[in-house]
A and B are shown apart, each in its own frame.
Chain A
Amino acid sequence: MMNKTTKWILWSVLLVFLIIYPLVFGIYYTNVFVTFAIAALYAVAIQMLLGFTGFLSFGHAMYFGVGAYGTAIALVHIKGLPLIVSVLFGFASALLLALVMAPLVVRLSVTAFAMIHMAFGMLAYTLALKLRNITGGEDGIGAFPIPPLRIPGVFSIDMTDPTNFYYFAMVILGVSIWILWFVTKTPFGCLMVGIRDNANRIDYLGFKLPQTKAVLYLLVGGFAGIAGSIFALFQNLISAMELYIMHSFIQIMQIMVGGIGSFFGPILGAGVFAVLEELTSRYTQRVELVIGLILILVIMYFPTGLIGMYHHFKTRFFTRQAD
C-alpha cells in the first residue's frame, strides 16, 4: 500500500500538471487533452457497468448522445441559459432516458442486455438522423451559443476561450470521475462486484437485484450524459454520427486496452487511444488498420490490458529479485 504522504504528493503533482498543461503545451494539445478527458469519463462510466458489474452494453452511445443533444437543444432554445444549467440539462436528459430504459433492461441476461442495447442504440441513431427538425439530422446542431461561466456581479469567464474551457471541463469531468470512483468504494460498490461474480448469491443474501442494477444503470447513463454534454459544449456541435454504434464499441475497446475491472484502466485506455489517433492520423491514412491490428494484438496477447500487463511485469520483477 502507498502511504498517505506519497499519495498526497502524487495527487498534488497531478493537479499541478493539469493546471500548467495548457500553459506549456498550447491550444492544440489542450484541445487534444479535453477530448481525451471526455473519453475518459465516458469510458469510466461504462467500466462501472462492464468491468465492475459484468454487463456488456452495445448501445451506450445513446446516453452520450442524448446528453449532448440535451445540452445543445437547451442552448439553442433557451436564451441566456447559464452554462452549468446547460450541463445539467444534458445530465437530466440522459438520466431520463435511463429511467425509461431501466425497467426494460434490468432483468435481462448479459447477452440479451448487450443486444437490446445495440437495438435501442441503433434506434436512437436512426431517430437522430431522421428527426431533422429537432436534431438537425446528419448536419447536427452546431454553432449554438456557448454561455460564459458567471455569477452575476462577481465574475464572468468566457468559455469560447480554449484555455478557460479546458479548466471548466477538467473540473466537471474530474469531479464526475471522482464521484464514480467514490461509488466503487461504498457498500453499493461492493454490491456491483458481487453481482458480477455471482448475481444469484446477491439475491440470496437479501439484496434486491433489479433495483440495484437500476440504480447503477441510472448512474452510468447520467454520467455518460455529462461526458456527452461537455463534448457538445467543447465541439459546439453534435450530430447523429456520435450516436453511431462504433461510438459504443470504442469505449469497450478502451476499457479492454486499459484493463477490464480496474477503475483507472479505462482512463489509461482512453489515453492510449487519444495518442494513437493523434499519431496515426499524422503519419498514415490508415487509422482503422492500425487500431484494428492493435485490438487484435491486445486481445490475443494481453487480454487483461495495460493494467494487467503492469501487474504481470511487476510480479515477475519482484519474483526475480526474490531469487
Chain B
Amino acid sequence: MDATTAMYVAQGLHGLAYGMILFLVASGLTLIFGMMGILTLAHAAFFMLSAYFSYQVMQMTQNFWLALLIAPVVAGIVGVLCERFLIRRVHVMGHIGELILTVGISLVILDAVKAIWSTDSLYVDIPECLQGLVSIVGMEYPIYRLFIIGLALLVLIFMALILYKTRLGMIVRAAVSDADMVNALGINVPLVFMLVFGVGTWMAGVAGVAIAPILTVFPGLADQMGMDAYIIVVVGGFGSLSGAFLVSIIFGLLSSYGVQFVSQLAPILMFIFMAIVLVIKPVGIFGERE
C-alpha cells in the first residue's frame, strides 16, 4: 500500500473511531429523546461528568479499567436521580419545561465541575496495554482508537440485544408507542422511563471515559459533543437507531476527511449536511414521526 492510500485509510479509521464515539453519545440520546420523548440538553453534561469521574478514579487507582467500569455507572446514577426527582415532574409541560430544566441541570453540573476540578485540561493516560501502534495491512495505527471502535460496537450490540431480544426491551418499545396502554397492563412505566434514562446516560458516560485520553478532560468537552449528538438524532430521525448510526459514521468521516481537505470549513460540512437533509426531509433520514 502506498503512502497516500495508507493516509486515506488512516483518516477513514480516525473518522470511524470518532463516529463510533458520537454514536455512543447519540444512541443514548436516541433512547432518551428520540424514543421516550424527553428533551434533555443535559445529556452532554453527563458525558462530561463521566469523563471527570474517570479522571478521578484514575487519580485514585491508576486503573483505567476500573474507571471504565465505575465512572459511567456513577454518571448513570446521577442521571437517574435527576430523572426521578426533577425531569419527570416537568414532563407534562412538554419540551419547553424540559429544555429549561435540563439547561439548568447542565449549568449546575458545569459550574460544579469547574469548582471541583478547575477549568484546566486534565490528562488521562491510555492504559499500557492499549498504547502504541499496531500494523494493519502495512500501515501503523494507534491501538487505542481500534479499542474505541471495538468498545462502542460491544456496547451497541449489548444494547440492541436488550432492546430487541428481552422482555424489558419489548416493554420499552411498547411504552414508547403507547405509554397509557402499557401502564394499563400493570407495568410500571415511570420505572421503565427511569431505567432507560439511566441506560442512555450510562452510554454517554462510556463515551466520556473512552474519549478522555484523546481529547483530555475540560469543561468545554460537553459543548461540541452535545451539539453533534443532537444533530445526529435529529438528522437520523427521532428514535431511529440505524439513522443515528448512519449519521454518526457520516459525521465522523466528514470531520476527519474534512480536516484533511478543507480544514477551515470542516465544522461547517456537518451543518451543511444537516441543513440539506432537514430541508428535504424534516423528520430526518429514517424518521417517520416528529
Interface residues in chain A, defined as those with a beta carbon under 8 Å from any beta carbon in chain B: 50, 56, 104, 108-112, 114-116, 118-120, 122-123, 126-127, 129-130, 245, 249, 252-253, 256, 260, 286, 288-289, 291-296, 298-300, 303
B268 at the interface (CB under 8 A from A): yes
Nearest opposing residue in chain B for A132, CB measure: B264
Chain B: which residue is nearest A292 at the CB level? B107
The reply to whether the CB of B99 lies closer than 8 angstroms to some CB of chain A is yes
List residues of B (219-239) whose CB comes within 8 Å of A's CBs: 227, 230-231, 234, 238
Contact of B100 among A104, A122, A253, A286 (CB under 8 A): A253
Q: Pull 30 A–B residue pairs with CB atoms less than 8 Å apart, ordered by A.
A: A56-B95, A56-B96, A111-B290, A114-B95, A118-B234, A119-B234, A119-B271, A119-B278, A120-B271, A122-B271, A123-B268, A123-B274, A123-B275, A126-B267, A126-B268, A130-B264, A249-B99, A253-B100, A260-B96, A288-B108, A288-B111, A289-B108, A292-B106, A292-B110, A293-B108, A295-B103, A296-B105, A299-B101, A303-B90, A303-B97
Q: Which of A50, A56, A127, A292 contacts B268 (CB 8 A)?
A: A127
Contacts A123-B271, A256-B96, A288-B110 given; does A300 touch B278 at CB 8 Å = no
Contacts A112-B290, A115-B234, A289-B111 known; A295 to B100 CB distance under 8 Å? Answer: yes
**CA gap between A129 and B97 in the complex, in Å:** 31
Cα separation A289 to B290 with both chains bound (whole Å) = 33
8 additional A-B residue pairs with CB within 8 Å, beyond A112-B278, A249-B103, A303-B90: A119-B271, A123-B272, A289-B107, A289-B108, A292-B106, A295-B101, A296-B104, A299-B101
Q: Per-residue 0/1 for B254-270: is the Cβ within 8 Å of any A Cβ (1 yes, 0 no)?
A: 00000000001101100
Question: In the complex the two chains form, what is the Cα distance from A288 to B108 in whole Å?
Answer: 7
State whether A119 touches B101 (Cβ < 8 A): no
B contact residues, total (Cβ < 8 Å): 38
What CA separation (Å) do A126 and B266 show in the bound complex? 10
Q: Please list the residues of chain B having a beta carbon within 8 angstroms of any beta carbon in chain A.
A: 86, 89-90, 93, 95-97, 99-101, 103-108, 110-112, 115, 227, 230-231, 234, 238, 264-265, 267-268, 271-272, 274-275, 278-279, 282-283, 290
Q: How near does chain B come to A128, taking the closest CB pair, in angstroms?
A: 11
With A109-B290, A130-B268 as given contacts, are A286 and B111 in contact (CB-CB < 8 Å)?
A: yes
Q: How far is the CB of B57 from chain A (nearest CB, A)?
A: 24
**Whole-angstrom CA separation of A225 from B234 in the bound complex:** 27
Chain A residues, Cβ within 8 Å of B103: 249, 253, 292, 295
CB distance from A52 to the nearest CB of B (A): 14
Q: Which residue of the partner chain A has the closest CB to B279?
A: A104
- Whether the pair A300, B101 counts as a contact (CB closer than 8 A) is yes
- A300 and B87 alpha carbons, distance in the complex (Å): 9
With most chain B CB atoms within 10 A of its CB, the pick from A112, A129, A260 is A112
